[in-house]
Each structure stands twice: as structure tokens, then as C-alpha cells.
Amino acid sequence: MPTKHGAFVFWIFCLPQYTRISRLSPPNLFALEKIHNYINGQLVAAQSGDWLDNYEPATGQVYSLIPDSDASDVQAAVAAAEAAFPAWSSCGVHERYRILHRIADLIEERLEPFAQAESRDSGKAITTARTVDIPRAQANIRFFATAILHFGAESHQMEGQAVNYTLRQPIGVVGCISPWNLPLYLFTWKIAPALATGNCVVAKPSELTPMTAYLLSQICIEAGLPAGVLNILHGLGPKAGQAIVEHPKTKAISFTGGTSTGRILARTAAPMFKKLSLELGGKNPNIIFADCNFEEAVSTTVRSSFANNGQICLCGSRVYIERSIYEKFRDELVRRAKALKTGDPADPTNDLGALVSEQHRAKVMGYLDIAKQEGGILLCRGEIVRPSDELANGYYLSPAIIEGLPNHCRTNQEEIFGPVVTLQPFDTEAEALALANDTEYGLAATLWTQDISRATRMAERLQSGIVWVNCWMLRDLRTPFGGVKSSGVGREGGVEALRFFTEAKNVCVKY
Ligand code: TXE
């Protein structure tokens, strides 16, 4: 977690220039790069002049500083957004299409530096940043830049009397708050539809992974995005994030993060009658029937269990396996999990990098202790990894696979959000369904069977917003995305996002 820079701040202020800290050198105050807020088209420090440390998960060292923004910075951002709104909301969909595509072009041109920055900031393997995070971030922007051209609205005729038509108008100034697990991917997933529909945005990425949002702000300036249309603030959630939600002029809030934080936002926003989209945590079931395509199921289950070190809300952390193939599937999954290489995220031969923070790794390891106390058997141990002396202080943890736990225990009921999965056998479809639904969450479920009747029957009964059958993370951006129960409220994606960021107005014309 970032800490306020104390004595160093003054000294750093005296230093003329900063270059990026080298991975090889010890913490060097001359090297700390300063990330800036992007407010009213300018890159600025926080008004307080305070900075927070930004840690590199691979080394455990501070490698940059972020503005410790507060309500005064939020006020400046909201004022800039308000001033920019009339022109942006009326410039027409083709102008918004043009500028958003230009931004996507620049991200695509700079995929490698963006991927390097994402990997260094989050600890994720460079191959994940290169093939998942950054390509998807520019795809998000392209998708909504184009979708807005086809965003129609309804009309309803009262024969011989009147015609009704629906206007879908931008809301005004909206807040977008995103998490650390897929930093630019989820940041653009929110701001792209908000901007495409003509809103002006006050956005805050996670204080744990601010870098690519900062690089994006530089690209927005280069692409000619008008000042104030997008404002990116950096800082702590309870301070800068809360101030965005509390501000009376932010009329809608789109949030992705933890369920407990989602509750706080809902308590703040509800009495202010703000529109609220909450994409929260998950504890997703992965149900494997004996008639599955075994190789596809086991290879995809390695990904759905450990991709991004399990730091994806869609990961299938509860694996239910039909008893007749339980041992065969378990042994093959353990063998492949043990073959995963955890190490330096910058090394493309590694499958998994570091977890995002020391605190998060401690949280995940705490759950491994809980699993043991609850009677779990660790088939893969989930141990701290020291890739090298230079990386000894990085936040590395090898994958863990646990069996022998009941469904109703903390390990199987609470979101761990790390490289940890549990295995349980089942005998019948009804039992698999009951086990899968036995959770407060309801984000995504994965189902492996060749029986199409069973697949469609179970999909109907699974309590989740997304069901993947014989696949995982296969994403069509036109589809509704979000969860039920404690996994959130509302849907993102496609027309759902365009409707969230617009207000519907019915106009009735008598003739
Ligand atoms: O998320 P937080 P964290 C889960 C996962 C993880 C847990 C907490 O289990 O361990 O959530 O992760 C901002 N007002 N997911 O701590 O705290 C914060 O600055 C306004 C699942 O990273 O929810 C950050 O920008 N904003 C999730 C964002 O909210 C506030 C992905 C998320 O932070 C705020 C991430 C406040 N009071 C974590 N407090 C998913 N569904 O993918 C914090 N923030």
C-alpha cells in the first residue's frame, strides 16, 4: 500500500530531474519518477504537494511517486469536466469516434512501452501485459468509439394520435474508479463508453497501479482530446476516490473493486441519487463433468485458476470435478500447476510474476493458513518464491491447490484473489449446482460437458451474471458483463454500458 513520503519529499523536491529507477540499482532518490494528475488538459501535482510511494512488486522497492490527491484536486477536476461538457456532448458522435480511435491508435503503436509499464507497475508477467492487458485496453476504446455510431433509440407510435421517441442523452460529469488487477484494461472499459456517449469524466485508477493511466493521459494530450473531457486523478481510495463519489456534480459512478468497498460507495451514492454501476468480487465455480473434453478442460482450468496469479475477478477458484474423473483430473492439474514458472515478471519465460503488493500476498498466505486450519490438504504448496537476490524482496507466491475442504468454510466462501484453488468431487448434476450456487457471490461460472441439454439446463440455474461452457474468458464486448448477489449491481459492456452512461428521455409529439 502506498505510504506518504515523509522526509524524502522535501529532498526530492530539491532535485532537478528524475529518471526511472534502474532495476539494478538500489533505491535512488534521484531516480523516482513522478506521476502527475491529468486535470483540465494539464499534467499537475496534487494541490497538497504531497506524494505517495509507488512500489515495484518485482523488487519490493519504491520506483515512482504518485500525487496524494484530495477533495481539492477532485473539485478542480470536476470544474474542468463541467466546463468541457457542453462542447464535448455536442461535438457529434463522429468527432468522438475520431478522437477515441486516435487514442487507440497511439496505444497500439506503443504497445511495448505500455506493456512494460503495466508489468512493472502490477507485477504481472510481461507476456500477460503484452497479450491481454494492453491489446484489450485499446480494443475497449475502439469498440465504444464505433459502438456509439450505431447506438440508436426507440420510438413508439400511438396510431392517429402521437409519436413517441426516446432520446438517450449524456449524463454530464461521471466518476470512474478502477482496480489494480487489470489496470488499463478495466480503466478503459469504463472511460471509453463514458466518453463515447458524450460525458466528461473524473477517473481514478488504483493507487497500486497508476502508471499506465498516467501514460494514457499523455496520449490523450497528444491525440487532441479537449481539455477537461477526461481528468485522471491519482491517490488513495478513501480520500481521492471517496471525494469523487461524494462530489454533488458527479452524477454517475462506475466502480470495479472489492465488495466491501462497493458497499461503502453504495452508502455514499444512494442518498445522492447517483446512477451506480458496481462490478465487485467473485468466488467463481468451475464445474467439470466426466464427459468433458479432458485436455481442453484441464489446460483451460490451469489458466482459469492461475492467470494473472488468480488476480482476476473471473477466475474459477472453486473447482468441482465429477467423482469418476476426480483423481485423474486432480493429478493432471497438480502436475501442470507445479510446472508453472513464477519469477521475474520481465522475463518472458515466466508464466507468473509477482502479486500486486506485500499486503495482498500476506492476505493470500493468510488464507493458506486458514485452509490448513480448516482441514485442507495442500497438493501444491503456495510458497514464497525468491527468484534471485536482486528480487528477494518481491511479492512472489507459487500456485496452491487444496482438497479435502467442505463447501461451507472460509476458504471456499471468501474471495482470496490469488493463485489458490480448491478441488471438490461431486456425484450428480443437482449436487454440482447446489455446491456452485452455495456462495454470497454470483459473478461467473464455468461448465465443462459435451451434453448440450445439461449445459443449457445448468446455465439457466447457475446464479451468476456470466456462464462459460467449454471455455473461459472468451469475451465478446457486445455482451452484458457483471454479476449478481455480492458480485455487483448493473452490467457493463456493449449497449448496457452506453445505456448506463446516458439518460433516457421520452418525447411525445401529438399530431
Ligand atoms: O480494491 P478496492 P482492492 C477484490 C479482491 C481484492 C479486494 C480489495 O478480493 O483483494 O477486492 O482489493 C478505490 N471510495 N477485487 O483493495 O479497495 C481504490 O483506490 C472510492 C475484485 O484493490 O475495492 C481503487 O481505485 N474509491 C475486483 C478501487 O477503489 C475507493 C478487482 C478498488 O479498490 C474507496 C479488484 C472509497 N471509499 C479487487 N476505497 C474485481 N471485481 O475485479 C477504495 N477505493
The model's pLDDT over 40-52, given as tens digits with 9 standing for 90+, comes to: 999 999 999 999 9
Q: Please answer whether residues 261 and 67 qualify as being in contact, where contact means their C-beta atoms are separated by less than 8 angstroms.
A: no
Is residue 274 within 8 A of residue 253, CB to CB? The reply is yes
Q: How far apart are CA 290 and CA 328, in angstroms?
A: 10
State the closest ligand 1 atom to the C-alpha of 443, by its place in the atom list counted from 1. 41
pLDDT per residue over 234-249, tens digit each? 999 999 999 999 999 9
Q: How far is the CA of 178 from the centre of ligand 1 (A)?
A: 7
Q: What does the buried/exposed string (b/e) look like for 412-436 if buried means 16 or more CB atoms within 10 Å of the residue's CB?
A: beebbbbbbbbbbbbeebeebbebb
Residue nearest to atom 27 of ligand 1 (CA): 257
Residues 6 or more apart whose CB falls under 8 angstroms from that of 144 comprise: 100, 192, 193, 195, 196, 497, 498
Is there a catalytic annotation at residue 279?
A: yes
Report the pLDDT value the prediction gives residue 489, as an integer from 0 to 100.
98
* Residues 126, 370: Cα–Cα separation, whole Å: 31
Q: Whose CA is nearest to atom 39 of ligand 1?
A: 237
What's the whole-model pTM score? 0.94
Angle between helices 111-122 and 93-109 in degrees, nearest 10: 80
Cα-to-centroid distance, 179 and ligand 1 (Å): 5
Q: Which residue has the cell 485508477?
A: 205
Q: Whose CA is nearest to atom 37 of ligand 1?
A: 238
Dmax (CA) for the chain in angstroms is: 81
User: What was the pLDDT predicted at 381?
Assistant: 83
Contacts of 305 (CB under 8 A, 6+ apart): 286, 315, 316, 317, 319, 333, 337, 399, 401, 419, 421
- Is 403 a known active-site residue? no
Residue 510: burial class (beta carbons within 10 Å; 0-12, 13-18, 19+)? exposed
Nearest CA to ligand 1 atom 16: 258
How far apart CA 201 and CA 453 sit, in angstroms, is 45
Mutate to test the pocket of ligand 1, among 177, 187, 276, 473 (most ligand atoms within 8 A of CB): 177
Query: 510: closest CA among 217, 220, 164?
Result: 164
- Nearest of 443, 448, 367 to residue 400 by alpha carbon: 367
The Cα angle at residue 308 between residues 219 and 482, in degrees rounded to 5: 80
Q: How far apart are the first and last CA of the chain?
A: 63
Residue 506 CA to ligand 1 centre (angstroms): 36
Distance, CA 258 to ligand 1 centroid (Å)?
A: 4
Q: Which of 200, 313, 315, 380 is catalytic?
A: 313
Q: What is the DSSP string of 72-141?
A: HHHHHHHHHHHHHHHHHHHS-HHHHHHHHHHHHHHHHHTHHHHHHHHHHHH---HHHIIIIIHHHHHHHH
Q: Atom 7 in ligand 1: which residue has the minimum CA distance?
A: 258
| Residues at CB less than 6 angstroms from ligand 1 | 177-181, 204, 206-207, 237-238, 241-242, 245, 256-258, 261, 264-265, 279-281, 313, 415, 417
Provide the b/e sequence for 220-248 (b: ≥16 CB within 10 Å).
beebebebbbbbbbbbbbeebbbbbbbbe
Q: How far apart are CA 121 and CA 185, in angstroms?
A: 14
205 Cα: distance to centroid of ligand 1 (angstroms):
10
Under-50 pLDDT residues of the chain: 6-22, 24-27, 29
Please give the grid coordinates belonging to residue 156.
413508439
- Which residue, judged by its Cα, is nearest atom 42 of ligand 1? 313
Enter the C-alpha cell of residue 481.
Answer: 458483463
pLDDT for res 133: 98
- Domains, the chain, in order of start with CATH, read 1-151+167-280 (3.40.605.10), 284-479 (3.40.309.10)
Residue matched to cell numbers 456532448:
89
The residue annotated as part of the active site, out of 279, 415, 492, 496, is 279
**Of 261, 357, 443, 486, best ligand 1 pocket probe by most atoms within 8 Å of the beta carbon:** 261
Q: In angstroms, what is the span from residue 142 Cα to ligand 1's centroid?
A: 26
Q: Whose Cα sits closest to atom 30 in ligand 1? A: 237
